[in-house]
């Protein structure tokens, strides 16, 4: 089954539901299935103790399959046999919250083994809280013989091909490719469309428009430019572009690792290993995906090497730069350096000097970063990435890439134990493995890119300090994992290399921009209900990029994870064909939105039936997106509802980091922009109280006259 989720084509015949103590989830899942797949046969799998309870509840299923504990092995065998005969399309696990039960908890234990042996490859999660959505399907992670062969053979081939990769991909495609000012590179990879790089390019354009520490009021009802994105990375991207930013990061890495080699008794010929590291799939994946993390990891390496050599002030400066670049990587580095100090003391180092050295280092870092961290902490509630991924999307799960990654890194760690006498550095090797486990099995905290770079950087530090062939070989095996394993979700990912062929959007740009000329000064909603879905939804990032310099506001653009979760959960996810006219009206009026962009044909027809005026269409099939799919046919509609960005209606003026409106005494105004601590309101030079409406701002005018809202970074410290 190639679909990632249930669609309108409900041709499923046999569906299995697992009862794990959540009866409401079972009932709601069955109701949804009967509505969408009335022809489907539904079976329920449980243990014998729950069977009687389910019969008493009169659950409307075709069959209840149970197993007991007395003759467990025999009964499990019978269950597996029956499941194999039935050939279920997929299995559903109802949960109270998606994070409570997941593929991560059952892949290779308990019921997961039963499903694997039964040949069921598709697992779905159905949450009562989010039961409006179709059931998400995830494939059960089962390693085939071919996967194992690829994991064993591909690293050897990748390593041998490194010189060819350097010339063809890095030199010819990445470095020497000429970029047009009118059509800049928005990604890298042959056969692909725009990658994650387009998100960062959009923010860089916003930084030019509003300043690095300003707020983009025209994006997701107002988002700070760099509050939740490293401002150093964005400043570098804005100034030099992506390719030069990557080059600067690599140079800093080389400086750090060369310093580490030369500061020890290790043979300087170890420098020859660095090109193989920077050309490995673990490293190149960040270019392929367009991720801005390399700079932060270069600061990680520089700070550690400085600390290792006793330069505490320099280490603190690099740590501060790391935090300015990526707070998440900064958290990992804090754990890393703390564990390094503790294990050194445990292994006999003088405790008092090490403690005071670490104390000075910590105080200096706090001193350098406190002015940045205070705004970050104060606005932390507005960063919904953790909540959306862990609660709404259902967290991450043990896919093939994670399993192979864990096995490969474990082999590297075991080889370090076997070939190198135990030192404090050995304990540092445990951290990436622990982070991977927590990230998959407990709670998503860091992106896959962050975990991979943590493994890469920690590993290179270890082997440069302990250059034994018995650890170098497993390490190279780890970082040269096949690209087809690292990114199984990318169609056509090569087994032996990441292509770095530049990607541009092409000739449709101006046609798209022209379509939106009629929306000048207004707010536009983009179809966005199926967050896990097709390229159409992801095309929103392309529109964000193309329209960032136009005089329009986008209700939802490049991604909802950098604003509070209510923006997505209460608003954006209803912008699709499943919503009624009344629900769309509620959403558009709540957000002051007068236009809507549709991709899906059914959604377009619904909008026509609801009285929306069709303004124009652009066929974007020549613009491909992240999975190499053709772009959608976009249609712009004007809403029949009279939505206002401020209520009650009054004269409203927006400009760079400032909003003004005319107010009457004792009238309460609802301003449909996100509230951050950086906003302060004034009337006749006196402060006016702003109430956070989640989302929006509520302001009661103390007197007649103009109210001015100013967004300033220093307001967070007041």
Q: What is the CATH number of the domain that holds 44?
A: 3.40.50.2000
CA dihedral 116, 118, 123, 125 (to 10 degrees): -110
Its domain, for residue 563, covers 509-638
Q: Do the Cβ atoms of 537 and 527 come closer than 8 Å? A: yes
Residue bearing tokens 């957000």: 591
* pLDDT score, position 52: 74
Domain boundary among 577, 610, 638: 638
3-state SS of 640-698?
Answer: CCCCCCEECCCCEEEECCEEEEEECCCCEEEECCCCCCCEEEEECCEEECEEECCCCEE
Task: Give the total number of structural domains in the chain.
Answer: 4
Quick: pLDDT tens for 378-436. 887 787 776 666 666 555 566 778 888 899 999 999 999 999 998 888 999 999 999 99
CA–CA separation, 398 and 411 (whole Å): 18
Q: Is position 382 within any domain?
A: yes
pLDDT attached to residue 304 = 96
Is 133:7 a contact under the CB 8 Å cutoff? no
Structural domain contains residue 214 = no
Same domain, 415 and 539: no
152 plus 112 within the same structural domain: no
pLDDT, tens digit, 9 for 90 and up, residues 109-122:
456 667 666 777 66
Residue 130, pLDDT > 60, answer no
Contacts of 676 (CB under 8 A, 6+ apart): 215, 222, 224, 227, 379, 382, 711, 716
Q: Find out whether 389 and 444 touch, Cβ atoms under 8 Å.
A: yes
**Spatial contact of 676 and 651, defined as CB atoms under 8 Å apart:** no
DSSP string, 452-506: HHHHHHHHHHHHHHS--HHHHHHHHHHHT--HHHH-TTSTT--SS-----EE---
Domain boundary among 95, 119, 139: 139
DSSP for 570-596? Answer: TTGGG-STTS-HHHHHHHHHHHT--EE
Maximum distance among all Cα pairs of the chain, rounded to whole angstroms: 82
Label residue 333 by pLDDT band (50, 70, 90): very high
pLDDT tens digits for range 509-522: 888 889 999 998 89
* Rounded distance between C-alpha atoms, residue 676 and residue 696, angstroms: 10
CA dihedral 41→45→50→56, nearest 10 degrees, is 0
Are 299 and 437 in a shared domain?
yes
Q: Are residues 261 and 398 in the same domain?
A: yes
Q: In the listed set 451, 486, 521, which residue is the last one of a domain according to the structure?
A: 486
Domain for residue 298, yes or no? Answer: yes
The answer on 613 and 472 residing in a single domain is no
This prediction's pTM? 0.82
What is the pLDDT, as a whole number, of residue 85?
79
Instruction: Report the 10 Å Cβ neighbour count for 502.
Output: 19
Percent helix / strand / coil, the chain, rounded to 5: 50, 15, 35
Rounded Cα distance between 113 and 87, Å, is: 16
The residue among 555, 630, 564 whose CA lies nearest residue 588 is 555
698 inside domain: yes
Q: Measured between alpha carbons, how far is 49 from 550 in angstroms, rounded to an integer? A: 63
270 contacts 467 by C-beta, under 8 angstroms: yes
The verdict on 360 and 313 lying in the same domain is yes
Comparing CA positions, the residue from 469, 443, 446, 471 lying closest to residue 459 is 471
Residue 669 belongs to domain with CATH number: 2.60.40
CB 326 within 8 A of CB 230: yes
Q: What is the pLDDT of residues 220-232, one digit of tens each?
A: 999 998 877 789 9
Residues 470 and 140: beta-carbon distance below 8 Å: no
Looking at the fold, whether 579 and 469 belong to one and the same domain comes out as: no
Strand-pair partners of 682: 687, 708
Pairing of strands 697-700, 690-692: antiparallel
Asked if residue 450 lies in contact with residue 484, where contact means CB atoms within 8 angstroms, the answer is no
Structural contact between residues 281 and 215, judged by C-beta atoms closer than 8 angstroms: no
pLDDT tens digits for range 675-699: 999 999 999 989 999 999 989 999 9
Average pLDDT over residues 161-189: 90
Q: How far apart are CA 34 and CA 44, in angstroms?
A: 14
Q: How crowded is residue 529: how many other Cβ atoms within 10 Å of its Cβ?
A: 20
Collect all residues with Cβ–Cβ distance below 8 Å to 216 and sequence separation of at least 6.
Answer: 206, 209, 210, 222, 223, 224, 225
- With b for 16 or more beta-carbon neighbours within 10 A and e for fewer, the 608-625 pattern comes to eebebeeeeebebeebbb
473 and 561 belong to one structural domain: no
* pLDDT surpassing 90 at residue 462: yes
Distance of CA 547 to the CA centre of its chain: 23
**Are 284 and 319 contained in the same domain?**
yes
Q: Is residue 183 part of a domain?
A: no
Is position 491 within any domain?
no
> Which phi and psi angles does 180 have, rounded to 5°?
-85, 140
> Average pLDDT of the chain?
83
What's the whole-number mean pLDDT along residues 575-587?
Answer: 91
Quick: pLDDT tens for 3-15: 334 444 456 778 8
Structure tokens at 675: 């509230």
Residues 252 and 288 in one domain: yes
- Which residue, among 90, 70, 196, 150, has the nearest Cα to 541 in the 3D structure? 196
> Is pLDDT above 50 for 668?
yes
Q: Looking at residue 180, what DSSP letter applies?
A: B
Q: How confident is the model at residue 538 (pLDDT cuts 50, 70, 90)?
A: low
Is position 471 within any domain? yes
Q: What angle do CA 8, 578, 643 make, to 5 degrees?
A: 155
Pick the residue with more confidence: 554 or 123?
Answer: 554
241: left (phi over 0), alpha (psi -120 to 50) or beta: left
For residue 691, tell me if it sits in a domain: yes
| DSSP per-residue codes, 51-68 | HHHHHHTT---SEEEEE-
Average pLDDT over residues 282-310: 93
In which element (H, E) is residue 8 found? Answer: none
* Closest C-alpha to 292, from 447, 116, 76: 447
DSSP reduced 3-state for 350? coil
Residue 463 shares a structural domain with residue 383? yes
Return d(Cα 626, Cα 639) in angstroms, integer.
30
Phi, psi of 471 (to 5 degrees): -110, -25
pLDDT at position 6 is 41
367 and 281 together in one domain:
yes
DSSP lists the bridge partners of residue 468 as none
Element (H, E) at 158: helix 145-160
């Amino acid at each position: 089954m190639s679909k990632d989720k249930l669609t309108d084509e409900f041709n499923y015949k046999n569906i299995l539901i697992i009862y794990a103590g959540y009866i409401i989830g079972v009932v709601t899942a069955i109701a949804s299935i009967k509505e969408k797949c009335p022809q489907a046969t539904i079976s329920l799998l449980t243990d014998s103790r729950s069977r009687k309870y389910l019969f008493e509840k009169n659950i409307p299923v075709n069959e209840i399959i149970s197993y007991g504990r007395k003759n467990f092995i025999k009964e499990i065998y019978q269950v597996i046999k029956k499941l194999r005969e039935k050939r279920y399309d997929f299995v559903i696990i109802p949960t109270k919250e998606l994070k409570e039960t997941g593929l991560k908890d059952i892949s290779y234990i308990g019921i997961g083994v039963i499903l694997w042996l039964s040949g069921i490859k598709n697992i779905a999660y159905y949450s009562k809280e989010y039961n409006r959505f179709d059931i998400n399907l995830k494939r059960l992670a089962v390693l085939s013989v071919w996967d194992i062969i690829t994991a064993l053979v591909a690293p050897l081939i990748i390593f041998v091909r490194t010189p060819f990769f350097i010339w063809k991909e890095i030199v010819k495609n990445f470095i020497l490719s000429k970029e047009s000012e009118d059509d800049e590179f928005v990604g890298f990879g042959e056969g692909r469309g725009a990658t994650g790089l387009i998100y960062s390019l959009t923010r860089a354009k916003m930084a030019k428009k509003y300043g690095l520490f300003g707020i983009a009021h025209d994006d997701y009802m107002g988002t700070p430019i760099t509050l939740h994105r490293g401002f150093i990375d964005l400043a570098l991207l804005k100034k030099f572009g992506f390719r030069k930013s990557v080059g600067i990061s690599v140079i800093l890495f080389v400086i750090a690792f060369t310093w580490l080699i030369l500061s020890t008794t290790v043979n300087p010929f170890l420098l020859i290993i660095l090109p193989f590291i920077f050309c490995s799939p673990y490293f190149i994946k960040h270019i392929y995906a367009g991720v801005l993390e390399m700079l932060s990891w270069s600061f990680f390496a520089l700070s550690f090497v400085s600390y290792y050599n006793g330069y505490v002030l320099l280490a603190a400066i690099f740590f501060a730069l790391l935090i300015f670049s990526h707070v998440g990587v900064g958290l990992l580095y804090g754990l890393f350096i703390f564990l390094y100090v503790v294990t050194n003391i445990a292994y006999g180092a003088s405790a008092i000097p090490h403690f005071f050295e670490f104390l000075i280092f910590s105080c200096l870092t706090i001193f350098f970063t406190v002015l940045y961290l205070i705004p970050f902490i104060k606005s932390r509630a507005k960063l919904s990435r953790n909540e959306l991924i862990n609660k709404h999307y259902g967290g991450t799960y043990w896919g093939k890439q994670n399993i192979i990654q864990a096995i490969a890194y474990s082999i590297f760690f075991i080889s370090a134990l076997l070939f190198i006498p135990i030192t404090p550095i050995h304990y540092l090797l445990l951290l990436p493995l622990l982070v991977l486990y927590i990230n998959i099995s407990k709670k998503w905290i860091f992106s896959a890119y962050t975990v991979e770079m943590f493994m890469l950087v920690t590993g290179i530090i270890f082997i440069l300090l302990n250059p034994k062939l018995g650890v170098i070989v497993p390490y190279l095996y780890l970082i040269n994992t096949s690209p087809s394993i690292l990114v199984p979700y990318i169609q056509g990912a090569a087994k032996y290399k990441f292509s770095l062929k530049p990607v541009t959007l092409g000739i449709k740009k101006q046609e798209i921009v022209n379509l939106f000329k009629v929306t000048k000064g207004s707010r536009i909603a983009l179809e966005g209900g199926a967050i896990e879905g097709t390229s159409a939804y992801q095309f929103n990032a392309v529109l964000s990029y193309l329209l960032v310099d136009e005089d329009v506001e986008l209700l939802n653009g490049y991604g909802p994870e950098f604003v509070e979760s209510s923006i997505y959960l209460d608003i954006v996810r209803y912008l699709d064909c499943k919503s009624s006219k009344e629900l769309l009206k509620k959403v558009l009026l709540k957000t002051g939105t007068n236009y809507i962009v549709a991709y899906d044909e059914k959604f377009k027809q619904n909008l026509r039936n609801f009285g929306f005026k069709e303004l124009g269409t652009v066929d974007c099939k020549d613009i491909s997106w992240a999975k190499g799919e053709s772009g959608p046919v976009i249609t712009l509609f004007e809403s029949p509802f009279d939505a206002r960005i401020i209520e009650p209606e009054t004269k409203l003026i927006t400009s760079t980091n400032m909003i003004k409106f005319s107010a009457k005494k004792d009238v309460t105004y609802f301003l449909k922009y996100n509230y951050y601590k950086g906003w302060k309101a004034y009337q006749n030079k006196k402060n006016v109280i702003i109430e956070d409406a989640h989302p929006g701002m509520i302001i009661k005018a103390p007197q007649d006259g103009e109210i001015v809202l100013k967004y300033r970074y220093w307001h967070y410290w007041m």
